[in-house]
Amino acid sequence: MFFLSNSVIDLEIRHFKHLYRHYGRVLVVNLVEKREHERRVGEEYQNLFNLLVSTYEQNFQRNHKTALGHLNKRDFIWFDYHEQSRTIKNATPEYFVRNMFIENIQYPIQQYLTSQGLFTYIDGTTINLQQGVFRINCIDCLDRTNNVQLTIGLCILPMQLESLKIRSHVNVLSDQLREMWINNGDHISRIYTGTGALNQRSKAKDIQRSVGRAIQNNLRDDDKQQSVQTLIYSYAKDSYLHERSVAALLTPYVICKTKNVILFFKRKITRLFYCS
């Protein structure tokens, strides 16, 4: 079990208060696995949310007013994406999410999509206001999160078009939304993992990208991660090296050449990295 500091708990409470006050009801969708190391993350996340609910209920009973509008433990949904995906073979991510999650009566997704409403603005007039949002996560908020968000977006799109009185080109707009979301996931994934997103186009492409990620993470990524930790985080193994690294970042020579900006660090600073 993780031991969470008061500062972590305080940040979580402040974060959810911000969400509730700005967006109304928040439906939390947690996609991490219910086994092994991911289970520990999911359990602590759920414990934090339950603590937020308990704190809210105590304040409500004492002050007799609702500071957050709507908050209860049923708004935390733990959907083990990987485990559930093993029950359907050869299905697209969109088909799997729609059938096993959105249209599954075990989860209140359809009901929530209807009750939260849509924001509609026509000819300078606000027709409807949206009453809530989804907060979706997995471990790295990448492949699983992207697939669920895409499918929910495709379910909401016809409702949005109907509210705007647009009844033509629905299939074309759905295809464009799907392509846009896939490309968005690919770009984010390349920044984070070095490859495009998984579960989007084909099994062969997924295998290729999985191998690429394994090579990236195990053979090429360690030096980059250690550099980030050394330069940014205070828990680096050598605090003296950390302080020198940060100091080096603050004293570069900047040489401007045409449209390019090249940063050159002092040679003595470079020697500090390798001679300290």
164-187 per-position pLDDT tens digit: 888 888 899 999 999 888 888 777
List the one residue out of 16, 12, 68, 32 whose CA is nearest residue 142. Answer: 32
pLDDT reading at 3 higher than 80? no
| CA separation, residue 144 to residues 44, 58, 109, 205, 212 (Å) | 19, 35, 17, 16, 18
Task: State residue 188's pLDDT score.
Answer: 78
Q: Are strands 260-264 and 120-122 parallel, antiparallel or unpaired?
A: unpaired
Show Cβ contacts of residue 163 under 8 Å, excluding neighbours closer than 6 positions: 118, 120, 127, 128
List the one residue out of 120, 87, 86, 4 whose CA is nearest residue 51. Answer: 4
Q: pTM of the prediction? A: 0.69
End-to-end CA distance of the chain: 38
Question: For the chain, how many residues are written?
Answer: 276
Task: State residue 274's pLDDT score.
Answer: 41
Residues 230-234: what's their mean pLDDT? 56
Q: Which amino acid is at 233?
A: Y
Residues 155-165: what's their mean pLDDT? 91
Residue 259 binned pLDDT confidence (cut-offs 50, 70, 90)? very low
H-type alpha helices, the chain:
6-23, 36-63, 81-85, 93-97, 109-116, 143-163, 170-193, 203-215, 222-232, 239-249, 267-275
Residues 185-201: what's their mean pLDDT? 66
Q: Are 200 and 182 in contact (CB under 8 A)?
A: yes
Q: Using the 8-state DSSP alphabet, how is residue 28 labeled?
A: E
Residue 77 binned pLDDT confidence (cut-offs 50, 70, 90)? very high
Residues 24-49: what's their mean pLDDT? 92
Q: Are 109 and 1 in contact (CB under 8 A)?
A: no
Q: What is the mean pLDDT of the chain?
A: 75
Out of 1-5, 93-97, 191-195, 270-274, pick the least confident: 270-274
List the one residue out of 250, 237, 249 whose CA is nearest residue 276. Answer: 237
Q: Are 208 and 101 in contact (CB under 8 A)?
A: no
Taking the C-alpha atoms of residue 109 and residue 115, their distance in angstroms, rounded to an integer, is: 10
